[in-house]
Structure 1
């Protein structure tokens, strides 16, 4: 299993290291070997008998990084020969990769809006998890943050996800619901980037998902949000219609609703549908 953070994938190519010409029979033998290798590697998506050995690329929202690390290991144990490559980024970046035709098999976003915008490029999506927002500060709380109202302080170094990021939209809804006008010092391309700035002490406060706060442990101080002002984020998953391994992609997307996958998500702090 390969885990890539904000990785832009592209078509790979085989590069042979020697440029020397081979005479006669050696050249013919080499050509035959190359043809055999090519035939083995282009099976139209059937990487293994029974649909258990495909190499799948899964584009997933950044907030799923920790949970999918565990989840991927469980899937590969259950599917002998299966190989998962995860690419984590903000949902809007993942959607851009899909529309640009980047090779991938499954998509999991942190909101239904982004997924719905890809209608025709995905199969029927299914919600696999839910989340909420949390307010985090560095452990020593240099900004003296006690609640949402403190985010209106113009002297506070506040970092939020950008408006095009699901966490950014959710965060703005939380602030609007609480009647708070807060100006962010920076707007980040993913919720994990927000968390990173707070962990590094480069911000006094940030709005992230509750699961991110759990994953950060003692590196951050968590301030729970009032239930009446919080939101519920939904995570839909779907196989991509452009997948080169459609059966295996559907299998993984469906497996995300299995008991093993739900257990991994729950352990990471996600709510379950």
Structure 2
């Protein structure tokens, strides 16, 4: 009997390890050593007033040291670029927006995908050229979708047609209050990107590329309009409302991209049902 119990225990442990195999914890829950900070108006890695910090194993975006907002839009970049992957981010909004923050930025943050490197951003550049999976929190009353798409310096194709407006809503429900939300983002180089919540796709688009506006003070040599976005850096936003991230993990799909059947099988096994 003891041998059977031990065998079952080993099977459970083995299967658990197999399920986790392939996932990379971009945020280690301890520090920000694998990340680079770029805040508008400040040089690279000047983490103004400790905007980005780790407390209680959570990455926090805080403004308790600010005297004024002054359009200090910030981004914290993971240290290396990726091309094809599943990104999982668990986030929640807390507290009140810093006075002076724009109304649209209330309970607003996001994950920037296929972004330019932090080193290539201008000193006074507000947003990286990238694709934003926009995180929005509800105000307790009104409907407000999350996992929308915004496009600083980029364009995408929707339903087979070039789409140039800056932001477009997903089909998600509204998440009010300070509840944790789990976002899953499937990125397949420049072929397909899906935003997923609770096992359902709430937005998808294809053929991301550089182009359009809604980004300022960039280096013109970096913004090559029409260039396909096949890879880039992942970053998380500071947009004037406190936000927390307790999980940022990635499953690298690059090695499966030339084998559609295997790719589909892997995606099916790792995505939340």
TM-score when normalising by structure 2: 0.25
Bigger strand share:
2
Structure number with greater Rg is 1
Bigger helix share:
1
TM-score when normalising by structure 1: 0.25
